[in-house]
Amino acid sequence: MGSEGEFEFSDEKWRYTWESQSHTPILRLLLFPIISKTLNPSFKQHNLTVYLHSPPSFLTITSSSSAAALSLRVPIPNVLLDADSPPTLRLFTDHIELKLLLLLPVDHPVISAVHQTSPIHLPLQMEYDVDKLSSVGEVEFVCRSCGYNLTKKPIRNFVEMPSANWREVADNWFGACCCSFGGISEKLVTRYVNSHSCAQGMCLLSSTSVIFYKDDLVESDFPKPCDQHEYVSDDFGGDGVSEGTGSSGLSEERTSTCSDAGEANCAFDENAMIAHPEKGQLSANFRYEVVKNEPDCSDFARTCPDLNDTEDVNNISSCCAHMSSTLGDKDGEHHLSRNARKIETAEIVGNQKSFLNGFLGDVFMARSSNLTKDIEWHEFTCPRCPTPLGAYPCCGGCAPVDEGVRLFKCYISTCVPVLGPGDIFSKYTVDKMFANRLMECANDESTFRFVVRDLTTKSPFLQIVLLNPDAWSCSGNCSNAEDKDPVPKLQLRPVIKVLFSDCKAAAESQLRMVDEWAAKNSAEDIFMLPYHIQDLVNSLIAAKDLYPSSCSSLHGLTLSSLQQ
């Protein structure tokens, strides 16, 4: 019988972690003690024996040394092992590494065909889920934490939200110029904005969130709409009125509420004139009268003058034939004709412009281009439990500017019981959604360094470096080699490996170092709500224990992983 110390070590609990890479036929096993954190110095590589049991559902590792007893059974995931290639074993100070060769990479389609009873786990495909929800008919959305019904009545109308860069897509497809075919772009953009506004009984869907009309939510207590205030914008641009360098500028003023509900009538000032003909500058004054009305997301109609005077023959050339104008000279002053032909055009205003620019879109993980100082985001919590389910945009602490409340799919369910077989959102989790969006951001910005900031205070909460977006992993506790219990079936799951550092409780000097690190390494800023950042940090902290101590840190950052 061994000594007391040897007996305690033989009863040490061990953890295993299987890892592999996409398109790489190598399977790596990490074995390490959970409590002691280091290996017994008496372990020698030549004293360890690895045996693959046929069929290869598990392997055993035993030690022939009486000074360091070891007897472990480790289940093998569903992969195709190369039986002719012996395993490679290495010892480190705190873990044992074992490498096995595969016939095919773990993500090869043949693997799913071979193991039809337990197909491989694929990365989360973040979809709009319009077809799935519409096929159900009436859907009752509930809080995933407490099962509380969030809507006053079931929702049956679902509309897909287009991407935030819809204007750029339209310009690239139809052209951005106002002449010829390009005018279609602006018309389509206007129609797009008006057709995708929040309405009672309708649910708007994005890849990460569900947008409800505020009055469709139960026990929703929102502030009253803001008082009227002015918006000033410079949306007009003019062509030169002479062959020189002159340009025309038109200014406009509009009075509106935060929800921009109303109709605008534009009256052209009959006394508008060219004030500085010698400089080739054109000035004109427009007056807008806003009639307060119920929010109906209707277009604002604008009537603008056609700079055309039949009494003068000085035609001005322009890139747009229909925009050419003629100026007249009377008593040394250039006057615009009182009988100018009015052209009615559609105008995008207020919250519609914010929506079109991406400021009112998806804020599960927002970028700098999706934020504006005029829009504040407030958390929306479950009426029964204190779980924050999403957010809504405000202007000066008022009601939602677009009447919509965004609830994230990872915090709600589409049926009771939650996460059941009928729950369409059951596969959505914070870490999977974040991993998906993080890889999108990495591909778009060509960077792998990020700083996650508080959406409200803009303070850094988390440093993240994306190490490997194509990893597969699974983990668990080892059993004794003599154990006769059935061997559990393992499935490798797609993960991303990251380095992270929690900055929430960092001192002011450390926060400055984070900002300096971000500037030096061109790190991308991403913004999330505090509660959701904390959920993400908890997932990262839990996953870091899947690796031995010697592999858990690099350059002051902690190694971890997130499921895809």
Domain finish residue from 318, 352, 386: 352
535 pLDDT more than 90: yes
- The answer on 434 and 348 residing in a single domain is no
Residue 488 has pLDDT above 70, yes or no: yes
Domain membership of residue 33 (yes or no) is yes
Q: Are residues 558 and 441 located together in one domain of the fold?
A: yes
Do both 437 and 555 map to the same domain? yes
Q: How confident is the model at residue 264 (pLDDT cuts 50, 70, 90)?
A: very low
Domain contains 156: no
What residues make up the domain containing 540? Answer: 4-122+430-563
pLDDT at 117: 61
pLDDT classification of 208: cutoffs 50, 70, 90: very high
Q: Is the pLDDT of residue 533 over 50?
A: yes
Residues 233 and 345 in one domain: yes
Specify whether 439 is located in the same domain as 549: yes
Give the end of a domain, one of 352, 375, 410.
Answer: 352
C-beta of residue 176 within 8 angstroms of C-beta of residue 378: no
Is 559 a domain residue? yes
In a domain, 214, yes or no: no
Integer CA distances (angstroms), 423 to 136, 142, 407, 417, 419, in order? 11, 10, 16, 8, 5
pLDDT of 139 over the 60 cut: yes
Handedness of CA 416, 417, 420, 425 (dihedral sign): positive
| In a shared domain, residues 111 and 234 | no
**How much is the pLDDT for 183?**
64
Instruction: Give yes or no for residue 369 having a pLDDT over 60.
Output: yes
Give a yes or no: residue 215 inside a domain. no
Distance CA 41, CA 31 (A): 15
* pTM metric for this prediction: 0.73
pLDDT tens column, 220-255: 777 766 554 433 333 333 333 333 333 333 333 333
Q: Are residues 335 and 235 in the same domain?
A: yes
The residue out of 303, 324, 352 marking a domain boundary is 352
Half-sphere exposure of 329 (CA within 13 A, CB side): 7
Q: What is the DSSP string of 455-485?
A: TTT--EEEEEEEEEEEEEEEEEE-EETT--S
Judge if 343 and 240 occupy the same domain: yes
Express each pLDDT in 67-107 by its tens digit: 677 889 999 998 889 988 989 999 998 999 999 999 999 88
Residue 325 lies in a domain: yes
Q: Are residues 340 and 434 in the same domain?
A: no
Residues comprising the chain, all counted = 564
At residue 428, the 3 state secondary structure works out as coil
* 292 part of a folded domain: yes
Judgement on whether residues 555 and 453 belong to the same structural domain of the protein: yes
Same-domain status, 459 and 340 = no
* Cα angle: 214, vertex 219, 220; to 5 degrees: 30
Q: Is residue 267 part of a domain?
A: yes
The domain tally of the chain equals 2
Q: Report CA 208 to chain centroid distance, whole Å.
A: 7
Rounded to the nearest 5 degrees, what angle is found at the Cα of 477, between the Cα atoms of 33 and 14? 15
